[in-house]
Amino acid sequence: MELCRATLSRAPFLPAAPPSLPVRDFRKRRVVCLSSGKSESTESPKDTQMVVSVTGATGFIGRRLVQKLLADKHKVRVLTRSITKARFVFPVENFPEIIIAEEEEWKKCIEGSNAVVNLAGMPISTRWSPEIKKEIMQSRINVTSKVVDLINHTNAEVRPSVLVSATAIGYYGTSETQVFDETSPSGNDYLSEVCREWETKAHNVDNGVRLVLIRIGVVLGKDGAKMIPLFMMFAGGPLGTGNQWFSWIHLDDLVNLICQSLTNPSYKGVINGTAPNPVRLSEMCDQLGQVIGRPSWLPVPDFAIKAVLGEGASIVLEGQRVLPAKAKELGFSYKYPYVKDALKAIVREL
């Protein structure tokens, strides 16, 4: 599991493109997305079938989201800046129904999509040089600005009705004593600034498009389970004091929250993408040790983390207690409300 604050997420649906449309040709780098001036036929056996365009689809969250959307019989358009990576993650023999679009094709794919999910952003769990900090910021606001601009310039008849855009709980800053929910003000550190700029760009979307901003916490899932090998070698333990709050969410719950945001018009505005029971990092490590059957006995001191990550060490040495008040108000059902159950599920997948 990545020890960072985040992997820093109505109208009648348009059915899929006609079967005869040549949506993908792997002999070329370009793709063809349906782009007409009128809605497609609504003669679909499932009137809730969606066409969803996704940025950041090749990432930790995006991969699981795409799989979920396909399992639910929706159509997926992967908006990528690296077609090579996208084809590696979604090989045509396993994902023949997916459309992969490079940046020059994003506009055609967004036209006729019912929804857009924006997950793009450079990972933050690295040493922060001035250049890296600039890239962390720009990778988020540039893609978000591009997506919003393309939506706003799409004809209303084929414009997506909802934009679900990721942001992060880093918005709130850090504290060992405060409790944050969606109404809490922003903090004043670097990641707070990134999240404010990120969200501001998303807010520029046309008023007729329902906007959902998901402030994502630490996402737990098999592909992010980097601490488990340490425990298997009897070397796992909390980072720093262990007193920092760990506001987490299991990957499956986050993906379900995104899917609910796509289909339920009651989901709008800011929603914290965290589980209802945050824990201190020391408790999380204890729970992981119990699940693995290994002791959590070797904490990693602050100075060692700072030596590796520099200023970026703040993402693991500081935390915040974030509650998903909006999701609970909306009646969202968590599959994994407690961290021990989430960890057990991850270990079963390994």
How far is residue 284's CA from residue 339's CA, in Å, rounded to a whole number? 7
Confidence label for 45 from pLDDT (cuts 50, 70 and 90): very low
Residue 279 has pLDDT above 90, yes or no: yes
Task: Report whether 275 contacts 249 (CB < 8 A).
Answer: yes
Q: Kindly report, residue by residue over 79-100, the tens digit of the pLDDT.
A: 999 999 999 999 999 999 999 9
Confidence label for 235 from pLDDT (cuts 50, 70 and 90): low
Q: Kindly report, residue by residue over 296-310, the tens digit of the pLDDT.
A: 766 777 777 777 667
How far is residue 61's CA from residue 156's CA, in Å, rounded to a whole number? 29
Tell me what percent of the residues of the chain surpass a pLDDT of 90.
Answer: 65
Q: Kindly report, residue by residue over 186-234, the tens digit of the pLDDT.
A: 999 999 999 999 999 999 999 999 999 999 999 999 876 555 554 454 4
Residue 70 has pLDDT above 80, yes or no: yes
The DSSP annotation for 310-327 comes to: GGGGHHHH---EE--HHH
Burial per residue of 67-82, b for 16 or more beta-carbon CB atoms within 10 angstroms, e otherwise: ebbbeeebbbbbbbee
Task: Report whether 305 contacts 316 (CB < 8 A).
Answer: yes
Confidence label for 238 from pLDDT (cuts 50, 70 and 90): confident
Q: Average pLDDT of the chain?
A: 84
Residue 127 has pLDDT above 50, yes or no: yes
Residue 31 has a pLDDT of: 43
Task: Report whether 154 contacts 146 (CB < 8 A).
Answer: no
Q: Count CB neighbours of 47 within 10 A.
A: 10
User: What domains can be seen in the chain, in order of their start residue?
Assistant: 51-220+248-275+322-335 (3.40.50.720)
How far is residue 82's CA from residue 271's CA, in Å, rounded to a whole number? 30
